[in-house]
Amino acid sequence: MSVDPLEKQIVRAPEFGRGAWLNTECPLRLAGLRGRAVLVDFWEYSCINCIRTLPYLREWYQRYSDKGLVVIGVHSPEFPFGREREQIERAIRELDIPYPVLMDNDFQTWDAYANRFWPAKYLIDQHGYLRYHSHGEGGYGAFEQAIQAILRESDPDVELPAIMLPLRDEDKPGAVCYRPTPELHAGLDRGALGNPEGYAGGVPMVYRLPKLRVTGAFYVSGAWQAGEQHFAYQGQTEGLIQVPYEAVEVNAVLSPHVETVERMIHPETVGVEIWQDELPLDDERRGVDVMPEGRVLVDRPRMYNLIRNPGFEPHELTLRVKSRGFALYSFSFTGCVKEG
């Protein structure tokens, strides 16, 4: 496998915008990193594709930081809670991110790079020129080859390791990737609510589940209220969220409460029951965030892994909610399975 040609030294990488720097003793400037290759990764801590890319970034950091590579994460938030420093610091710890992270809350760096995707990786040479980029998952071997090509431009005699093998079975040659149900957003902005009552202009409404439910939407029963990017439970008994889907895994971005202050005043963990096809979730299909008794404990706003089917399968997922203020932001799905 040969790397796609590096881009010519034509476009200089823009300087980082304003924002808090985490995981480093002092703010960084691109101008101060001349003489070193720089990998800039635009990510978001509740984004499944970003999370799946992080193991490769960690490995590249370990392999090449002493060879002249600097890795920098730029966290550009998709949801309002992604602007909270506490949430990003906790994500850095839990995701074991060893390199500096810039909180790009105002999207200054995102806009400077004319970026449009999570995740997106940009490789900058020792003279400050953009030489290679990649959007989304995949292409890890080619990107590592680009890193090595940039490092050899500075030092042709540098000793570099062999390109690493894929870290997951579904990343290996021969893996089969089906087209899963597309990502579903919950709020007024790009919302995928399938109930015939609709969003009711963002005011509270009591919903009933329609008999006909199809993939590409989520459905609710009980009292709910929509915000721009979320759907929050407003009832007193039990509310349901049902999602017909086709996928291997299902993830959901959830929060115990929308408001930051409310989460501070009432820090209680919210338990949500996870069912599939009108039955409690069995052990074989429990996502990593689902407890043996079939509940996920929502203690803060983040992405939760709910379902891990043994293969690419059609099902209907149900979330059973009893806590007023609980909020859904999105569902995401994966469709790749290992060979055999």
- Supply the CATH number for residue 236's domain: 2.60.120.260
Give me the number of domains the chain comprises: 2
Q: Which two tokens stand for residue 265?
A: 């005043």
Whether residue 266 sits in one domain with residue 207: yes
b/e sequence 169-197, b meaning 16+ C-beta within 10 Å: ebbeeeeeeeebbebbbbbbeebbbbbee
Whether residue 193 sits in one domain with residue 123: no
Residue type, position 232, single letter: A
Contacts of 203 (CB under 8 A, 6+ apart): 225
SS3 169: helix
Q: What is the CATH number of the domain that holds 103?
A: 3.40.30.10
Give 83's DSSP letter: G
Q: Is residue 119 reached through a cis peptide bond, with omega within 30 degrees of 0 on the bond before it?
A: yes
How far is the CA of 268 from the CAs of 88, 226, 247, 295, 323, in angstroms? 20, 22, 32, 15, 10
Whether residue 251 sits in one domain with residue 116: no
Tokens 């895994």 appear where?
Answer: 249
Whether residue 226 sits in one domain with residue 129: no
Strands 69-75 and 37-43: parallel
Write down which residue in 133, 167, 201 finishes a domain: 167
Determine, yes or no, domain membership for 69: yes
Whether residue 287 sits in one domain with residue 259: yes
Q: Tell me the residue length of the chain.
A: 340
Whether residue 239 sits in one domain with residue 135: no
Determine, yes or no, domain membership for 2: no
What are the two backbone dihedrals, phi and then psi, of residue 89, each rounded to the nearest 5 degrees? -60, -40
Q: What is the pLDDT along the chain (340 residues), one digit of tens a residue?
A: 455 578 888 899 999 999 999 999 999 999 999 999 999 999 999 999 999 999 999 999 999 999 999 999 999 999 999 999 999 999 999 999 999 999 999 999 999 999 999 999 999 999 999 999 999 998 999 999 999 999 999 899 999 999 999 999 888 888 899 999 999 999 998 899 999 999 987 789 999 999 999 999 999 999 999 999 999 999 988 999 999 999 999 999 999 998 887 787 777 899 999 999 999 999 999 999 999 999 999 999 999 999 999 999 999 999 999 999 999 999 999 999 886 5
Whether residue 321 sits in one domain with residue 196: yes
| Rounded distance between C-alpha atoms, residue 170 and residue 178, angstroms | 11
Whether residue 319 sits in one domain with residue 190: yes
Whether residue 235 sits in one domain with residue 144: no
Which domain does 317 fall in, by range? Answer: 184-337
